[in-house]
Amino acid sequence: MSTVAYIALGSNLGDRKSNLDRAVETLGRHSTMTVKCVSSYYETEPVGGPPGQEKYFNAALELETDLSARQLLQTLLETEASLGRVRGEKDGPRVIDLDLLLFGDEIYEEADLQVPHPRMHERVFVLEPLAEIAAEVRHPILERSASDLLWGLKHAGRELSGMRAVVTGSTSGIGKAIAFELSRAGASVVLHGRKEKTARRLAHLLHADYQLADFARPDERQRFVELAWQRKPIDIWINNAGADTLTGHAASWSFDKKLEVLLEVDVKATIELSRTVGARMKEQGSGVILNMGWDQAETGMEGDSGELFATVKSAVMAFSKSLSRSLAPEVRVNCIAPGWIKTAWGKTASASWQERVRQETPLERWGLPEDVAKAARWLVSPAASFITGQVVRVNGGAVR
Protein backbone atom coordinates (compact mmCIF):
# COMPACT_ATOMS: atom_id res chain seq x y z
CA MET A 1 0.00 0.00 0.00
CA SER A 2 1.43 3.39 -0.98
CA THR A 3 1.85 6.34 1.37
CA VAL A 4 1.96 10.06 0.64
CA ALA A 5 5.03 11.72 2.16
CA TYR A 6 6.36 15.27 2.20
CA ILE A 7 10.04 16.15 1.94
CA ALA A 8 11.82 19.46 2.65
CA LEU A 9 14.74 20.35 0.40
CA GLY A 10 17.48 22.90 1.06
CA SER A 11 20.84 24.00 -0.36
CA ASN A 12 23.24 26.88 0.29
CA LEU A 13 26.46 25.69 -1.38
CA GLY A 14 27.33 25.88 -5.06
CA ASP A 15 24.59 26.19 -7.64
CA ARG A 16 21.66 26.02 -5.24
CA LYS A 17 18.93 25.78 -7.87
CA SER A 18 20.79 23.04 -9.74
CA ASN A 19 21.28 21.13 -6.48
CA LEU A 20 17.54 21.13 -5.79
CA ASP A 21 16.77 20.22 -9.39
CA ARG A 22 19.14 17.25 -9.23
CA ALA A 23 17.64 16.07 -5.93
CA VAL A 24 14.11 16.12 -7.40
CA GLU A 25 15.29 14.28 -10.52
CA THR A 26 17.16 11.65 -8.49
CA LEU A 27 14.16 10.93 -6.28
CA GLY A 28 11.91 10.81 -9.34
CA ARG A 29 14.00 8.04 -10.89
CA HIS A 30 13.36 5.63 -8.01
CA SER A 31 11.02 2.82 -8.98
CA THR A 32 9.57 2.74 -5.45
CA MET A 33 8.26 6.30 -5.46
CA THR A 34 6.56 8.90 -7.62
CA VAL A 35 7.14 12.61 -7.21
CA LYS A 36 3.67 14.16 -7.40
CA CYS A 37 4.34 17.85 -6.83
CA VAL A 38 7.22 20.27 -6.20
CA SER A 39 6.91 23.74 -4.72
CA SER A 40 8.53 26.92 -5.94
CA TYR A 41 12.06 27.60 -4.73
CA TYR A 42 12.35 30.10 -1.88
CA GLU A 43 15.49 32.02 -0.98
CA THR A 44 15.82 32.25 2.81
CA GLU A 45 18.26 33.38 5.46
CA PRO A 46 20.15 30.61 7.31
CA VAL A 47 18.78 29.69 10.75
CA GLY A 48 21.39 28.76 13.35
CA GLY A 49 24.79 27.29 12.54
CA PRO A 50 28.05 29.18 11.98
CA PRO A 51 27.96 32.87 10.96
CA GLY A 52 28.65 34.01 7.42
CA GLN A 53 26.67 31.31 5.61
CA GLU A 54 25.12 31.98 2.23
CA LYS A 55 21.36 32.14 1.86
CA TYR A 56 19.44 28.93 1.22
CA PHE A 57 17.19 27.80 -1.57
CA ASN A 58 14.34 25.85 0.07
CA ALA A 59 11.49 23.81 -1.38
CA ALA A 60 9.07 21.00 -0.57
CA LEU A 61 7.88 18.06 -2.57
CA GLU A 62 5.08 15.55 -2.31
CA LEU A 63 5.75 11.96 -3.23
CA GLU A 64 3.90 8.66 -3.16
CA THR A 65 5.89 5.61 -2.16
CA ASP A 66 5.65 1.92 -1.35
CA LEU A 67 8.62 2.21 1.02
CA SER A 68 8.33 2.24 4.79
CA ALA A 69 9.21 5.45 6.61
CA ARG A 70 12.59 4.03 7.60
CA GLN A 71 13.33 2.88 4.05
CA LEU A 72 12.37 6.31 2.71
CA LEU A 73 14.66 8.02 5.22
CA GLN A 74 17.52 5.77 4.14
CA THR A 75 16.82 6.64 0.50
CA LEU A 76 16.97 10.34 1.34
CA LEU A 77 20.31 9.90 3.11
CA GLU A 78 21.71 7.96 0.16
CA THR A 79 20.46 10.64 -2.24
CA GLU A 80 22.18 13.35 -0.20
CA ALA A 81 25.45 11.42 -0.29
CA SER A 82 25.21 10.82 -4.05
CA LEU A 83 24.83 14.57 -4.59
CA GLY A 84 27.93 15.40 -2.56
CA ARG A 85 26.56 16.00 0.96
CA VAL A 86 29.30 15.72 3.58
CA ARG A 87 28.05 15.96 7.14
CA GLY A 88 30.16 18.25 9.30
CA GLU A 89 29.28 21.07 11.67
CA LYS A 90 25.70 21.06 12.99
CA ASP A 91 23.47 23.41 10.97
CA GLY A 92 26.46 24.19 8.78
CA PRO A 93 26.32 24.88 5.04
CA ARG A 94 25.38 21.97 2.82
CA VAL A 95 25.11 21.09 -0.85
CA ILE A 96 21.77 19.41 -0.26
CA ASP A 97 19.52 18.69 2.68
CA LEU A 98 16.53 16.32 2.43
CA ASP A 99 14.30 16.11 5.50
CA LEU A 100 11.36 13.75 5.90
CA LEU A 101 8.57 16.02 7.18
CA LEU A 102 5.46 13.85 7.08
CA PHE A 103 4.75 10.22 6.25
CA GLY A 104 1.00 9.88 5.90
CA ASP A 105 -0.41 10.48 9.36
CA GLU A 106 2.10 8.19 11.03
CA ILE A 107 4.17 9.12 14.09
CA TYR A 108 7.66 7.80 14.82
CA GLU A 109 9.68 8.67 17.93
CA GLU A 110 12.91 6.76 17.54
CA ALA A 111 16.47 7.99 17.97
CA ASP A 112 17.16 7.94 14.22
CA LEU A 113 13.61 8.38 12.90
CA GLN A 114 11.38 11.22 14.07
CA VAL A 115 8.21 11.88 12.10
CA PRO A 116 6.67 14.39 11.88
CA HIS A 117 9.88 16.41 11.75
CA PRO A 118 10.26 17.73 15.31
CA ARG A 119 10.88 21.36 14.29
CA MET A 120 8.81 21.74 11.13
CA HIS A 121 6.07 23.70 12.93
CA GLU A 122 8.63 26.29 14.04
CA ARG A 123 10.20 27.01 10.64
CA VAL A 124 8.80 29.40 8.05
CA PHE A 125 11.32 28.16 5.48
CA VAL A 126 9.79 24.67 5.77
CA LEU A 127 6.13 25.63 6.05
CA GLU A 128 6.00 28.20 3.25
CA PRO A 129 6.86 25.77 0.43
CA LEU A 130 4.85 23.00 2.10
CA ALA A 131 1.75 25.19 2.36
CA GLU A 132 2.13 26.09 -1.31
CA ILE A 133 1.66 22.48 -2.42
CA ALA A 134 -0.38 21.07 0.48
CA ALA A 135 -2.08 23.86 2.40
CA GLU A 136 -4.49 21.54 4.20
CA VAL A 137 -2.15 18.69 5.08
CA ARG A 138 -2.25 18.35 8.86
CA HIS A 139 0.46 17.84 11.43
CA PRO A 140 -0.55 14.49 13.00
CA ILE A 141 0.32 15.51 16.56
CA LEU A 142 -0.66 19.19 16.64
CA GLU A 143 -3.61 18.54 14.29
CA ARG A 144 -3.08 21.86 12.51
CA SER A 145 -2.84 22.43 8.78
CA ALA A 146 0.35 23.61 7.11
CA SER A 147 -1.34 26.89 6.18
CA ASP A 148 -2.48 27.50 9.77
CA LEU A 149 0.96 26.74 11.18
CA LEU A 150 2.52 29.12 8.66
CA TRP A 151 0.04 31.89 9.41
CA GLY A 152 0.77 31.57 13.12
CA LEU A 153 4.50 31.99 12.58
CA LYS A 154 4.22 34.91 10.16
CA HIS A 155 1.37 36.94 11.65
CA ALA A 156 0.52 35.95 15.22
CA GLY A 157 1.87 38.10 18.06
CA ARG A 158 3.51 37.13 21.33
CA GLU A 159 1.04 38.83 23.62
CA LEU A 160 1.32 36.16 26.33
CA SER A 161 5.11 36.30 26.63
CA GLY A 162 6.26 35.97 30.23
CA MET A 163 2.99 34.37 31.34
CA ARG A 164 2.55 30.85 32.68
CA ALA A 165 -0.58 28.96 31.64
CA VAL A 166 -2.11 25.66 32.74
CA VAL A 167 -4.50 23.90 30.35
CA THR A 168 -6.22 20.83 31.76
CA GLY A 169 -7.27 18.04 29.42
CA SER A 170 -4.68 19.29 26.94
CA THR A 171 -3.38 16.15 25.24
CA SER A 172 -6.18 15.92 22.68
CA GLY A 173 -9.00 17.81 21.01
CA ILE A 174 -9.88 21.33 22.12
CA GLY A 175 -7.43 21.30 25.03
CA LYS A 176 -4.49 20.43 22.81
CA ALA A 177 -5.47 23.16 20.36
CA ILE A 178 -5.63 25.71 23.19
CA ALA A 179 -2.25 24.66 24.58
CA PHE A 180 -0.66 25.09 21.16
CA GLU A 181 -2.33 28.47 20.62
CA LEU A 182 -1.14 29.81 23.98
CA SER A 183 2.34 28.46 23.34
CA ARG A 184 2.69 30.27 20.05
CA ALA A 185 1.39 33.43 21.76
CA GLY A 186 4.47 33.21 23.97
CA ALA A 187 3.07 31.61 27.13
CA SER A 188 4.97 28.98 29.08
CA VAL A 189 2.45 26.14 29.12
CA VAL A 190 1.83 23.35 31.63
CA LEU A 191 0.00 20.46 30.01
CA HIS A 192 -2.30 17.99 31.74
CA GLY A 193 -3.34 14.50 30.75
CA ARG A 194 -3.52 10.93 31.97
CA LYS A 195 -1.20 9.18 29.51
CA GLU A 196 2.53 9.69 29.91
CA LYS A 197 3.53 9.04 26.29
CA THR A 198 0.95 11.38 24.80
CA ALA A 199 1.71 14.19 27.25
CA ARG A 200 5.48 13.85 26.84
CA ARG A 201 5.22 13.91 23.03
CA LEU A 202 3.22 17.14 22.98
CA ALA A 203 5.36 18.74 25.68
CA HIS A 204 8.44 18.11 23.56
CA LEU A 205 6.92 19.88 20.55
CA LEU A 206 5.67 22.86 22.57
CA HIS A 207 8.72 23.13 24.88
CA ALA A 208 6.20 22.77 27.70
CA ASP A 209 5.96 21.12 31.12
CA TYR A 210 3.36 18.48 31.87
CA GLN A 211 1.70 16.83 34.86
CA LEU A 212 -0.41 13.68 34.93
CA ALA A 213 -3.57 13.43 37.01
CA ASP A 214 -6.93 11.67 37.07
CA PHE A 215 -9.46 14.37 37.91
CA ALA A 216 -12.04 11.78 38.92
CA ARG A 217 -9.98 11.55 42.11
CA PRO A 218 -10.11 14.57 44.46
CA ASP A 219 -6.65 13.87 45.91
CA GLU A 220 -5.10 13.99 42.44
CA ARG A 221 -6.84 17.27 41.68
CA GLN A 222 -5.25 18.96 44.67
CA ARG A 223 -1.86 17.37 44.01
CA PHE A 224 -1.99 18.68 40.46
CA VAL A 225 -2.47 22.25 41.66
CA GLU A 226 0.46 21.96 44.06
CA LEU A 227 2.77 20.54 41.38
CA ALA A 228 1.68 23.07 38.76
CA TRP A 229 2.36 25.95 41.13
CA GLN A 230 5.66 24.51 42.32
CA ARG A 231 8.04 26.39 40.00
CA LYS A 232 6.32 29.78 39.89
CA PRO A 233 2.83 31.28 40.08
CA ILE A 234 0.26 30.67 37.35
CA ASP A 235 -1.16 33.57 35.34
CA ILE A 236 -3.71 31.66 33.25
CA TRP A 237 -5.72 28.58 34.20
CA ILE A 238 -8.00 26.87 31.68
CA ASN A 239 -10.31 24.12 32.92
CA ASN A 240 -10.87 22.12 29.76
CA ALA A 241 -10.73 18.56 31.16
CA GLY A 242 -13.97 16.66 30.83
CA ALA A 243 -15.17 13.07 30.83
CA ASP A 244 -15.68 11.53 27.38
CA THR A 245 -18.92 9.56 27.53
CA LEU A 246 -19.56 9.59 23.78
CA THR A 247 -16.76 7.38 22.47
CA GLY A 248 -14.93 4.21 23.51
CA HIS A 249 -16.22 1.87 26.19
CA ALA A 250 -17.87 4.77 28.07
CA ALA A 251 -20.42 5.13 25.26
CA SER A 252 -22.09 1.93 26.49
CA TRP A 253 -22.39 3.05 30.12
CA SER A 254 -25.80 3.55 31.72
CA PHE A 255 -27.26 7.05 32.03
CA ASP A 256 -26.63 7.03 35.78
CA LYS A 257 -22.98 6.05 35.46
CA LYS A 258 -22.34 8.69 32.80
CA LEU A 259 -23.98 11.32 35.00
CA GLU A 260 -21.87 10.29 37.99
CA VAL A 261 -18.62 10.59 36.06
CA LEU A 262 -19.58 13.85 34.37
CA LEU A 263 -20.55 15.42 37.68
CA GLU A 264 -17.23 14.38 39.20
CA VAL A 265 -14.92 15.46 36.37
CA ASP A 266 -16.75 18.24 34.51
CA VAL A 267 -18.46 19.89 37.48
CA LYS A 268 -16.74 19.10 40.77
CA ALA A 269 -13.22 19.16 39.38
CA THR A 270 -13.86 22.48 37.60
CA ILE A 271 -15.35 24.01 40.75
CA GLU A 272 -12.61 22.76 43.08
CA LEU A 273 -9.75 23.72 40.79
CA SER A 274 -11.26 27.14 40.03
CA ARG A 275 -11.79 27.96 43.70
CA THR A 276 -8.34 26.77 44.77
CA VAL A 277 -6.54 28.47 41.89
CA GLY A 278 -8.74 31.56 42.11
CA ALA A 279 -7.84 32.09 45.76
CA ARG A 280 -4.14 31.92 44.92
CA MET A 281 -4.53 34.29 41.99
CA LYS A 282 -6.49 36.78 44.06
CA GLU A 283 -3.76 36.71 46.69
CA GLN A 284 -1.05 37.29 44.07
CA GLY A 285 -3.08 40.18 42.66
CA SER A 286 -3.88 38.95 39.16
CA GLY A 287 -4.91 36.00 37.04
CA VAL A 288 -7.36 34.65 34.47
CA ILE A 289 -9.56 31.55 34.68
CA LEU A 290 -11.39 30.15 31.68
CA ASN A 291 -13.93 27.32 31.92
CA MET A 292 -15.73 25.21 29.30
CA GLY A 293 -19.49 25.21 28.84
CA TRP A 294 -21.74 24.16 25.95
CA ASP A 295 -23.82 26.34 23.65
CA GLN A 296 -26.92 24.14 23.94
CA ALA A 297 -26.87 24.03 27.74
CA GLU A 298 -29.27 26.98 27.90
CA THR A 299 -31.59 25.91 25.10
CA GLY A 300 -31.52 22.14 25.55
CA MET A 301 -31.10 19.17 23.24
CA GLU A 302 -33.12 15.97 23.02
CA GLY A 303 -31.83 12.56 24.14
CA ASP A 304 -29.61 11.22 26.89
CA SER A 305 -26.53 13.14 25.77
CA GLY A 306 -28.46 16.41 25.63
CA GLU A 307 -29.86 15.87 29.12
CA LEU A 308 -26.46 14.93 30.52
CA PHE A 309 -24.38 17.70 29.00
CA ALA A 310 -26.99 20.40 29.51
CA THR A 311 -27.03 19.53 33.21
CA VAL A 312 -23.30 19.58 33.83
CA LYS A 313 -22.36 22.43 31.49
CA SER A 314 -25.17 24.67 32.77
CA ALA A 315 -23.67 24.20 36.21
CA VAL A 316 -20.21 25.19 34.97
CA MET A 317 -21.53 28.24 33.16
CA ALA A 318 -23.55 29.48 36.15
CA PHE A 319 -20.66 28.80 38.53
CA SER A 320 -18.25 30.74 36.32
CA LYS A 321 -20.48 33.82 36.38
CA SER A 322 -20.70 33.73 40.18
CA LEU A 323 -16.98 33.04 40.63
CA SER A 324 -16.16 36.06 38.49
CA ARG A 325 -17.95 38.26 41.03
CA SER A 326 -16.21 36.60 43.96
CA LEU A 327 -12.71 37.04 42.51
CA ALA A 328 -13.07 40.50 40.95
CA PRO A 329 -11.30 42.83 40.49
CA GLU A 330 -8.00 40.93 40.67
CA VAL A 331 -9.03 37.84 38.70
CA ARG A 332 -11.07 37.56 35.52
CA VAL A 333 -13.29 34.48 35.01
CA ASN A 334 -15.03 33.63 31.76
CA CYS A 335 -16.51 30.60 30.06
CA ILE A 336 -16.45 29.43 26.45
CA ALA A 337 -19.51 27.58 25.14
CA PRO A 338 -18.48 25.63 22.03
CA GLY A 339 -21.06 24.46 19.53
CA TRP A 340 -20.59 21.60 17.08
CA ILE A 341 -16.83 21.07 17.20
CA LYS A 342 -15.21 18.24 15.25
CA THR A 343 -13.40 16.35 18.02
CA ALA A 344 -13.24 12.55 18.37
CA TRP A 345 -17.02 12.01 18.21
CA GLY A 346 -17.57 14.46 15.36
CA LYS A 347 -14.97 12.75 13.18
CA THR A 348 -17.00 9.53 13.18
CA ALA A 349 -20.54 10.94 13.37
CA SER A 350 -23.11 9.51 10.96
CA ALA A 351 -24.19 11.17 7.73
CA SER A 352 -27.42 12.32 9.37
CA TRP A 353 -25.48 14.06 12.13
CA GLN A 354 -23.17 15.67 9.58
CA GLU A 355 -26.20 17.11 7.81
CA ARG A 356 -27.78 18.23 11.08
CA VAL A 357 -24.63 20.16 11.99
CA ARG A 358 -24.62 21.85 8.59
CA GLN A 359 -28.26 22.85 8.85
CA GLU A 360 -28.03 24.13 12.42
CA THR A 361 -24.90 26.21 11.84
CA PRO A 362 -25.24 29.39 9.75
CA LEU A 363 -21.59 29.08 8.67
CA GLU A 364 -22.52 25.59 7.38
CA ARG A 365 -19.55 23.69 8.74
CA TRP A 366 -18.23 21.98 11.83
CA GLY A 367 -16.17 24.11 14.14
CA LEU A 368 -12.59 22.98 14.62
CA PRO A 369 -10.65 22.79 17.88
CA GLU A 370 -8.49 25.69 16.66
CA ASP A 371 -11.60 27.87 16.33
CA VAL A 372 -12.19 27.47 20.05
CA ALA A 373 -8.48 27.84 20.79
CA LYS A 374 -8.24 31.21 19.06
CA ALA A 375 -11.19 32.52 21.06
CA ALA A 376 -9.58 31.22 24.24
CA ARG A 377 -6.31 32.93 23.37
CA TRP A 378 -8.08 36.27 23.08
CA LEU A 379 -10.11 35.83 26.26
CA VAL A 380 -7.05 35.16 28.42
CA SER A 381 -4.98 37.92 26.79
CA PRO A 382 -4.56 41.53 27.93
CA ALA A 383 -6.74 42.52 24.95
CA ALA A 384 -9.76 41.16 26.87
CA SER A 385 -8.87 42.87 30.16
CA PHE A 386 -12.38 44.35 30.52
CA ILE A 387 -14.15 41.02 29.93
CA THR A 388 -15.24 38.95 32.93
CA GLY A 389 -18.30 36.94 33.96
CA GLN A 390 -19.20 36.19 30.35
CA VAL A 391 -20.19 33.04 28.49
CA VAL A 392 -18.85 33.33 24.94
CA ARG A 393 -20.42 31.08 22.33
CA VAL A 394 -18.09 29.69 19.68
CA ASN A 395 -20.63 27.98 17.45
CA GLY A 396 -20.68 29.41 13.94
CA GLY A 397 -23.64 31.65 14.72
CA ALA A 398 -26.10 28.94 15.72
CA VAL A 399 -29.16 30.31 17.48
CA ARG A 400 -31.46 27.65 18.85
Contact assessment for residue 237 and residue 288, using Cβ atoms and an 8 Å cutoff: yes
Q: What is the dihedral of CA 65, 71, 74, 76, to 10 degrees?
A: 10
- In whole angstroms, what is the distance from residue 217 CA to residue 349 CA? 31
Closest CA to 339 of 320, 315, 363: 363
What are the phi and psi torsion angles at 162 (to 5°)? 85, -5
- In whole angstroms, what is the distance from residue 97 CA to residue 76 CA? 9
Contact assessment for residue 9 and residue 97, using Cβ atoms and an 8 Å cutoff: yes
Count of alpha carbons within 13 Å of 176, Cβ hemisphere only? 20
Q: What is the dihedral of CA 170, 262, 246, 368, to 10 degrees?
A: -40
Identify the active-site residue in 16, 85, 144, 377.
85
Identify the active-site residue in 16, 22, 94, 221.
94
99 is catalytic: yes
- In whole angstroms, what is the distance from residue 346 CA to residue 180 CA? 21
295 is catalytic: no
Cβ burial, residue 140 (10 Å; 0-12/13-18/19+): middle
Identify the active-site residue in 99, 105, 209, 244.
99
Identify the active-site residue in 16, 22, 97, 332.
97
97 is catalytic: yes
Question: Which helix (H) or strand (E) element contains residue 201?
Answer: helix 196-206
Active site residues: 85, 94, 97, 99
